[in-house]
Amino acid sequence: MAYTAIVTGAVQGIGAQIALRLAKDGINVAINCRSAARIENGGNQIAQKCREYGVLAECFAADVSDYDQCSAMVDEVKKKFGRIDFLVNNAGITSDGLLVRMSEDSYDKVIAANQKSVFNMMKLVGSVMMRQKSGRIVNIASVIGIYGNAGQANYAASKAAVIAMTRSVSKELGSRGITVNAVAPGFIETPMTDALTDDQKKAILDRISLRRYGKAEEVAGVVSFLLSEDAAYITGQTIEISGGLSM
């Protein structure tokens, strides 16, 4: 029996690498993109790369901050693949600024995209998994949700909430054989880090024990482990992937 995973926000960066790693592991992948345009501009390419591993892979458009869109997507995935075994909540955004200057809209957008989306998907997919009496959920949090960061009060709040939700929901779903864990990446090589100045990069690297940025593939590897049978007795945990970051 082939397992099926939903990966939200899987067009680029960490999400794309998670989708590819799961495909390499022999898992069918439902690739979530925010819109049809994102499917055309990135999603289809990731799906094709996943299929090269011999699995089924298809893109599904949904703004995961919207409950109704999530519900429609989960129904589509269930119809297409027959079951949903794994959920990786990766979708997220930033809208940085000092708290006293942050607009209410900037705060609300980040909470909706990063935290409400996790509620939406865990509620909907969790119901499917409860009926199956099996499943694994991995939520992508952040070290910012653990340590905080100036200029990112909204992002920190959203990711801290994800960590707390992970612990709570693990207690609710454990009796049905469902594990719920989180990973908290530190500074990972992405287009966002590419845009930093040399001085900014040096300041960050000076705080990392391993003196390098992490790779999206390294985050994907930990997610793969948490979805595997080797992690069957791990739930309610948050694994930091930061190279020994000192905040």
Give the residue among 124, 139, 120, 11 at the shortest CA–CA distance from 66. 120
Catalytic (active site) residue 107 = no
Is 46 strand, coil or helix?
Answer: helix
Phi/psi at 71 (5° precision): -60, -45
**Distance (Å, rounded) from C-alpha 189 to C-alpha 53?**
25
Answer yes or no: are the C-beta atoms of 14 and 219 closer than 8 Å.
yes
Residues in the chain: 247
**Distance (Å, rounded) from C-alpha 110 to C-alpha 116?**
9
Q: Which residue has the tokens 């929901």?
A: 169
Give the residue among 216, 165, 230 at the shortest CA–CA distance from 186. 216
**Distance (Å, rounded) from C-alpha 130 to C-alpha 245?**
37
Out of 53, 107, 147, 155, pick the active-site residue.
155
Give the residue among 203, 200, 214 at the shortest CA–CA distance from 243. 214
Is 178 strand, coil or helix?
Answer: strand
Which tokens sit at 216? 């999206």
* Active site amino acids: 155
